[in-house]
């Protein structure tokens, strides 16, 4: 079994690669360990808390005991299904800020500045503003990825934006367009009431080309002969076999599994590989390093009025929501319920937003457990650019073993300062007049938790991953020892091998990672096909005119 191109991972970037390569007439095999995305748990947006907690759809990774979080082991879900994590995520669509990509470029990822990547964001999008505003000239309208907005009918969703404005922040009609900073409507990858994952947008259309094949198998390592990647060793139906690549192997297996596969193939820190008896093909110390994520807290409020989604949080309510969705793809089940966003700067001197809000008109955890208080609402909040860095490493040389994942969360004092500030700024927003009719009291952290020490204790016990791992196969200049891939995503030290997923991010972007991960697949497809990149768009997004002197 062989093709010109073998893609490992049918996730966000892998699906986009398959679509573009197959569309150009190339013969492509996509290897995916997970199975079908059929069924209501994945397809119903309102059921998003289920698939990421199901072993059928999730790799089930957990971190090593995190030393700065009291030894807690945090969940690190990754999609094990067609569509990858885009089939189990919260469906939130955030490109990232223009300055994120300019930073990539300045760190050595030439050709990945905002002017370079904006045309790819436009190419992939089919944006529907839902009547909530925004300038369409910043958005794409005929790409495969449908991006929509929720109905925003719940009064709490409106109150959150009003409170942000009352607190002195701007409103923004489109944080993915000219102006990220401020409060406004969220974009989501939902279309006609269904999750619109990378599998729906890219993989299923790609498979309609006779040149594209999906193979369900477990990738063990890349086969490298005389310094060239020639295939992928897999376990399929209980047997080990090699799927051959005539031109290239492309790893798109996630920020956890792509570095794992490189190391199992002999590409990584030489001493670490030798420790596990793996022959070194290319000594690249950066493989597995530079691991980053977003952490967040839920600031939860109890509501005076029965306006939250809690009214559906019982057997009858859930049955009603499910029935509406099954019959007509309508009702609360047709939205991820994250319908209002906020992006703010934590203090004067920060040039672009470093705090993100996800507002939810329900007090609930990611695992689906609601607050005991009944009706309530919450803001998910956390800093966007933590300086803490971790590493993915091998537990041993057995491909079936999960890798060791240590994010080293909160290892820098600035992370604690930024989190305390985020909590206090959130409380200030919830204290505005717009929330006066709704707020009964603060559930968590709780009104008594005020001092730095008390806030730090709350953070240590309650902070959770936002599930945005990235950075472990960093893109940059070939002469940088910590770089893993060059600006065309080619693995340094081996020919015929690329990495294209969130692991190539030099630094984490501002917001959720699904959109920039798909963008990486889109852009790398042009590099693979030898096409000129799309012409850069030198536009100037909004920056606070007095960011040096004012926090808002």
Q: What is the pLDDT along the chain (552 residues), one digit of tens a residue?
A: 999 999 999 999 999 999 999 999 999 999 999 999 998 999 999 999 899 889 999 999 999 999 999 999 999 999 999 999 999 999 999 999 999 999 999 999 999 999 999 999 999 999 999 888 899 999 999 999 999 999 999 999 999 999 999 999 999 999 999 999 999 999 999 999 999 999 999 999 999 999 999 999 999 999 999 999 999 999 999 999 999 999 999 999 999 999 999 999 999 999 999 999 999 999 999 999 999 999 999 999 999 999 999 999 899 999 999 999 999 999 999 999 999 999 999 999 999 999 999 999 999 876 667 777 889 999 999 999 999 999 999 999 999 999 999 999 999 999 999 999 999 999 999 999 999 999 999 999 999 999 999 999 999 999 999 999 999 999 999 999 999 999 999 999 999 999 999 999 999 999 999 999 999 999 999 999 999 999 999 999 999 999 999 999
Q: If we measure between CA atoms, which residue out of 393, 472, 505, 527 comes closest to residue 109?
A: 505
Q: Which residues are annotated as a binding site?
A: 81
Least Cα distance to 515 among 177, 102, 161 occurs for: 177
Q: Name the CATH architecture for the domain at 1-65+77-124+195-288+472-538.
A: 3-Layer(bba) Sandwich (3.50)
What is residue 171's three-state secondary structure?
strand
CA distances (Å), origin 204, targets 21, 22, 212, 513, 520: 14, 11, 10, 22, 19
Helices 514-528/114-124 angle, 10° precision: 100
CB 31, CB 253: distance < 8 Å: no
Query: Distance (Å, rounded) from C-alpha 287 to C-alpha 262?
Result: 8
Residues 6 or more apart from 151 whose CB is under 8 A from it?
130, 335, 339
Helix or strand or coil: residue 312?
helix
Its pTM surpasses 0.95: yes
Q: Compute the distance between CA of residue 82 and CA of residue 15 in angstroms, rounded to an integer.
A: 8
Beta-bridge partners for 114: none
| Closest among 463, 472, 453, 547 to 513, alpha carbons compared | 472
Residues annotated within the binding site for FAD are 81
How close are the terminal C-alpha atoms of the chain, in Å?
58
What architecture (CATH level 2) is domain 125-194+292-465?
2-Layer Sandwich (3.30)
What does the alpha-carbon distance between residue 354 and residue 480 come to, in Å, rounded to a whole number? 27
Give the residue numbers marked as catalytic.
Answer: 468
* Residue 122 · residue 539 · CB < 8 Å: no
β-sheet bridge partners, residue 219: 234
**Where are the domains positioned within the chain?**
1-65+77-124+195-288+472-538, 125-194+292-465
Distance CA 413, CA 502 (A): 26
Q: Where are the alpha helices (DSSP H) in 381-496?
A: 413-430, 452-462
């Amino acid at each position: 079994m062989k093709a010109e191109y073998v893609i490992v991972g049918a996730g966000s970037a892998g699906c986009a690669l398959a679509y573009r390569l197959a569309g150009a007439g190339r013969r492509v095999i996509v290897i995916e360990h997970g199975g079908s995305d059929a069924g209501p748990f994945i397809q119903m947006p309102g059921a998003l808390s289920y698939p990421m907690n199901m072993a059928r759809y999730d790799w089930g990774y957990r971190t090593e005991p995190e030393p700065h979080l009291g030894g807690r082991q945090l969940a690190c879900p990754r999609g094990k299904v067609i569509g990858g994590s885009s089939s189990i995520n919260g469906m939130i669509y955030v490109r990232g800020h223009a300055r994120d990509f300019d930073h990539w470029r300045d760190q050595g990822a030439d050709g990945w500045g905002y002017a370079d990547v904006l045309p790819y964001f436009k190419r992939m999008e089919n944006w529907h503003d839902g009547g909530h505003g925004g300038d369409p000239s910043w958005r794409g309208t005929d790409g495969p990825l449908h991006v929509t907005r929720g109905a925003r009918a719940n009064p709490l969703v409106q109150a959150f934006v009003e409170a942000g404005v009352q607190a002195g922040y701007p409103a923004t009609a489109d944080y993915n367009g000219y102006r990220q900073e401020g409060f406004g409507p969220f974009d989501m990858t939902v279309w006609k009431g269904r999750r619109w994952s990378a599998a729906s947008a890219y993989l299923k259309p790609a498979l309609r080309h006779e040149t594209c094949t999906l193979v369900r198998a477990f990738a063990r390592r890349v086969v490298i002969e005389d310094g060239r990647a020639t295939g992928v060793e897999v376990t399929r139906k209980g047997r080990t076999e090699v799927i051959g690549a005539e031109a290239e192997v492309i790893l798109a297996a996630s920020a956890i599994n792509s570095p794992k596969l490189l190391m199992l193939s002999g590409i990584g820190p030489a001493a670490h590989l030798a420790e596990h008896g793996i022959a070194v093909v290319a000594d690249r110390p950066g493989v597995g390093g530079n691991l980053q994520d977003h952490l967040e807290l839920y600031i939860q409020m109890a509501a005076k009025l029965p306006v939250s989604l809690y009214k559906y949080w019982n057997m009858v309510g859930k049955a009603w929501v499910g029935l509406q969705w099954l019959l007509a793809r309508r009702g609360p089940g047709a939205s991820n319920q994250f319908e209002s966003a906020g992006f703010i700067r934590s203090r004067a001197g920060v040039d672009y937003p470093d705090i993100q809000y996800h507002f939810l008109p329900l007090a609930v955890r990611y695992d689906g457990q609601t607050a005991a208080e009944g009706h309530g609402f919450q803001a998910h909040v956390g800093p966007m650019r933590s300086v803490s860095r971790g590493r993915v490493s091998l537990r041993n040389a057995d491909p079936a073993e999960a890798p060791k994942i240590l994010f080293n969360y909160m290892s820098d004092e600035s992370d604690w300062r930024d989190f305390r500030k985020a909590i206090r700024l959130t409380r200030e927003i919830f204290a505005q007049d717009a929330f006066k009719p709704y707020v009964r009291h603060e559930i968590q952290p709780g009104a008594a938790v005020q001092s730095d020490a008390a806030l730090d204790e709350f953070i240590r016990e309650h902070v959770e991953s936002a599930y945005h791992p990235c950075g472990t196969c960093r893109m940059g200049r070939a002469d940088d020892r910590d770089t893993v891939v060059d600006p065309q995503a080619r693995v340094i030290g081996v020919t015929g091998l690329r990495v294209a997923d969130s692991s190539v991010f030099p630094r984490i972007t501002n917001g959720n990672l699904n959109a920039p991960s798909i963008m990486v697949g889109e852009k790398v497809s042009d590099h693979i096909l030898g096409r000129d990149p799309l012409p850069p768009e030198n536009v100037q997004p909004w920056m606070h005119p007095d960011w040096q002197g004012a926090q808002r």
